[in-house]
Structure 1
Amino acid sequence: MRIIDVKQAVAPISSAIANAYIDFSKMTASIVAVTIEDGQGGRATGFGFNSNGRYAQPGLLAERFIPRLLEASLTTHDDGGLEPASAWMAMMKNEKPGGHGDRSVAVGVLDMALWDATAKLAGKPLWRLLADRYNAGQADEQAWIYAAGGYYYPGKGVAELLEEMKRYLGLGYSVVKMKIGGAPGTPLKAALKEDVERIEAVLKLLSGDGSRLCVDVNGRFGLHAALVYGAALAPYNLRWYEEPLDPLDFSTHAVLAEQYAPPLATGENLFSMLDCRNLIRHGGLRPDRDTLQFDPALSYGLVEYLRTLEMLREHGWSPRRCVPHGGHQFALNIATGLGLGGNESYPEVFAPFGGFADDTPVVDSRIRMPDAPGIGFERKNDLYAVMRTLL
């Protein structure tokens, strides 16, 4: 097997939305196409991109990782198909440990394309390939997904927030997520009052069922604010209280977990197995209720994510506690093929990268997987149109 071509480009995903920490006015994504020949007459092109929240990486791709990938000696898996780990090792040659920010994004983009091509060469959807290789052939028939939204937007008040959430319910989602903590410069007491009003309005729409609502702070709070908000949120029994603290402040997470009994969620901004292990060792998270949101597209790809899942098992965590960030088809295939707890979804933002195959409806926050070979980009017309520009 050999890689015969790699192409890359930068695609805009800018919008006027914002979370509690950043706005997306200049957000970009890298897109790549990797073409592979299997030596037996088979040829496939796999596509990849990076999740929202991290910018495109054209420099790192062009200077280091694409040249190494083109020189890689590929190996085969026991099933006779491509083993993406061999390409991954070639890309990471002469890379020092640590420093997992932008580098992990660049490698993750190429890793996604490699897995897409691998599954296409095998004539299987990626979720089936992963189940056969790593999960004793067992794949979930459908995945639990939730609608992530509730971003801040100029002129957006409670009424507009409710209209957005109604649209998600109309699309078949029963669980939704909204942003909180995004009132910069506002005294904590006033910001909390505003957020409680927003939360209670959405809960009323959800018949008062807190298990149908997640809230996300995007790492903005310090410990004091996280505890104050936690005390106010606890009576609502929300699905989870997401990333209230800096993602690398593990000891502070542990303090919050001691004080806030309902579920927490975090991990989308940890980009290596070792960082994830530090969270598990020192973050005080509880494997019976908390959710881990590591995003394979941002964290060196599936090759590294498989190591992360193995680490979690060694520490007593079930893969069902993993619900990846990103709202993309790559993570959805991983979730169904490896038995994760579900996947994020972006019904209205980060188009065309957010969302899933066009012909897979959402029913009660669950979605079935298509049988298309690979990740299934070809079944999402708007996204495939972007990917085809690389060809």
Structure 2
Amino acid sequence: MKITQVEERAVPIKSDIRNAFIDFSKMNVSVVAVKTDVIKNGKSVVGYGFNSNGRYAPSGLLRERFIPRLLEASEQEITDDDGANLDPFKIWNVLMTGEKPGGHGERSVAVGVIDMAIWDAVAKIEEKPLHQLLAERYRRGKADSSVFVYAAGGYYQPGKGNEALQQEMRTYLEAGYSVVKMKIGGVPLEEDIRRIEAVIDVTGDAGKLAVDANGRFDLDEAIAYAKALEPYGLFWYEEAGDPLDYALQNTLGRYYSHPMATGENLFSMQDARNLISYGGMRPDRDYLQFDCALSYGLVEYMRTLDMLEANGWSSRRCIPHGGHQMSLNIAAGLGLGGNESYPGVFEPFGGFADDYPVENGYVQLPEVPGVGFEAKNNLYTLLRSVLQ
């Protein structure tokens, strides 16, 4: 079998929301389509991929390095031993040919985009949902029937006061979510505390609210927030400081006893290993948010899961960033602790299948071959257009 065509397009997000560090008004993402010569139901199998929000489209890297390597590879270099399907691990090695260790940067995003498309194609060729395929290959056939998801929102927006923030959170709870998340660090601490208390008035329980600083704080600010947040008992306190500042994260644990979360901006197994080795993360309560679409894809993510297990961490402590269907499949197929969700945000990339509502904080996956993009109409319409 062969890969006959690979196309990439940069698609704008166009949103006026912001977190403590960036606004998304000029943010875009790369969408990739990988076409094969395999025919199913009278059509060529096409795998689709895209990168998660928060990183710009790595179009140059994809077009100049990674897509050419994929197209130039021989059939034996990209297919399994039987030549009947693509081999994501062989393809990962092809993509990384000539790449030095370290210096991950945006190349981890570019590889992650292609990796998503490859896994989508692999599952479609086997005519199985990706979560089922993963469970059969790596988890003795047992996939979770539903996945815990939380609603990520609470962004800063022009003219958005506490009443609007409360209404946003009510909408999420009414939609079936049991846990919501909001941004902090974009205004002074005292104002953020008022925002937090306004949301707790809506959730009725501080344990149903997570907060996310998006790496905004230095150590003193992170500790000040930790001390102010400690009495509430929030669901978690996320990414207080720079994601590579393991010393800050380690020190913060001395001031904050409740769950913390970080990892969405770490892009390799080695980075993940450094976090749990030097960041003071606690496997009994803290959460790891590595996002395969930003960190060299599922191939690398499975290396990370193996590393975590070897170091005494359960896969249930992983709740990926990104709010997309790829991570949802990984969560169900490999037994993660849940997945982020962006209801109504970062469309059409955020959110899950159209006819699968969130119920009591959990969502089911469609029995659609591949990642399931075809069950999300507005996203699938966009993905199909990349080959036109």
TM-score bin, normalised by smaller chain: over 0.9
Q: Once the 2 structures are TM-superposed, how far is the Cα of residue 78 of structure 1 from its aligned partner? A: 8.3
1:61-97 Cα distance to aligned partner (Å, 9 max, x none):
1100000011222131689643211111101000011
Residue in structure 2 matched with residue 304 of structure 1 by the alignment? 300
Aligned match of 1:236? 232
Task: Give the corresponding residue for 1:364.
Answer: 360
Q: Report the count of equivalent residues.
A: 383
| Structure 2 match to 1:374 | 370
2:98 is equivalent to residue 100 of structure 1:
no
**Letter aligned with residue 208 of structure 2:** R
What's 1:204 paired with?
A: 201
Listed as ranges, the matches of 1:164-203 within 5 Å are: 164-183=168-187, 191-203=188-200
Q: Report the residue type matching 2:196 in the other structure.
A: I
Letter in 1 for 2:384: R
Select the residue among 144, 163, 173 that pairs with 1:140: 144
SS of the residue aligned with 2:57?
coil
How far apart, in 1, do the equivalents of 2:105 and 2:38 lie? Answer: 33
Q: Match of 1:34, SS? A: strand
Aligned residue number for residue 89 of structure 1? 93
Does 2:246 correspond to 1:250? yes
Contact 1:43/1:121 (CA < 8 Å) preserved in 2?
no
Identity score, percent: 61
| Cα distance in structure 1, aligned partners of 2:82 and 2:137 | 9
Q: Paired residue for 1:327?
A: 323
Asked whether the 8 Å contact 1:231–1:260 carries over to 2, the reply is yes
Quick check: 1:34 aligned with 2:34? yes
Q: Is the 8 A contact 1:148 1:347 kept in 2?
A: yes
Structure-2 residue corresponding to 1:70: 71
Q: What is the letter of the counterpart of residue 183 of structure 2?
A: K
> 260, 267, 271: which is aligned to 1:264?
260
Which residue matches 2:54? 53
Q: Are residues 248 and 387 of structure 1, via their aligned partners in 2, closer, same or farther at CA, if it must alter by over 3 Å? A: same
Q: 132, 157, 160: which is aligned to 1:156?
A: 160
Distance 1:327 1:177 in 2: 12
Deviation at 1:58, TM superposition (A): 1.1
Alpha-carbon distance change, 30 to 69 in structure 1, aligned in 2, over 3 angstroms: same
Equivalent position of 2:210 in the other structure? 214
1:344 aligns with 2:348: no
CA contact (8 A) 1:150 1:179 kept: yes
Q: Which runs of 5+ in 2 are unaligned?
A: none
Q: Distance in 2 between matches of 1:47 and 1:75?
A: 18
Task: Determine the structure 2 residue equivalent to 1:186.
Answer: none
Q: Partner amino acid for 1:121?
A: I
SS at the partner of 1:36?
A: strand
Measure, in 1, the Cα distance between the counterparts of 2:79 and 2:329.
23
| CA root-mean-square deviation | 1.5
- Contact (CA 8 Å) 1:2, 1:39: kept in 2 or not? no
Residues 79 and 63 of structure 1: is their aligned pair in 2 closer, same or farther, counting only changes over 3 Å? closer
For residue 371 of structure 2, what is the amino acid of its counterpart?
I
Distance 2:44 2:315 in 1: 33
Alignment partner, residue 10 of structure 1: 10
Q: For residues 33 and 158 of structure 2, what CA distance do their matches in structure 1 show?
A: 36
Relative to 1, partners in 2 of residues 1:379 and 1:201: Cα closer, same or farther, differing over 3 Å? Answer: same
**Shift, 1:149, TM fit:** 0.2
Q: Could you tell me which of 129, 132, 135 is aligned with 2:133?
A: 129
Letter of the 2:45 partner, please give it. A
Distance 1:39 1:163, change over 3 A: closer
Distance 1:52 1:75 in 2: 30
Q: Residue type of the partner of 1:353?
A: F
Superposition TM-score, scaled by structure 2 size: 0.96
Q: Which residue of 2 aligns with 1:274?
A: 270
Amino acid of the residue matched to residue 334 of structure 1?
Answer: I
What amino acid is the match of 2:342? Y
3-state SS, counterpart of residue 244 of structure 2: coil
Q: TM-score, normalised by structure 1?
A: 0.96
1:256 positional shift: 0.5
C-alpha distance in 2 between matches for 1:102 and 1:14: 21
Cα distance in 1 for partners of 2:81, 2:377 equals: 31
Distance 1:257 1:37 in 2: 52
Q: Deviations over 1:319-357 (max 9, x none)?
A: 000000000000000000000000000002100000000
| Cα separation, partners in 2 of 1:204 and 1:95, compared to 1, 3 Å | same
Tell me how far apart the structure 2 counterparts of residues 260 and 116 of structure 1 sit (CA, whole Å): 40
Query: Is the CA contact 2:17–2:156 (under 8 Å) kept in the aligned structure 1?
Result: yes
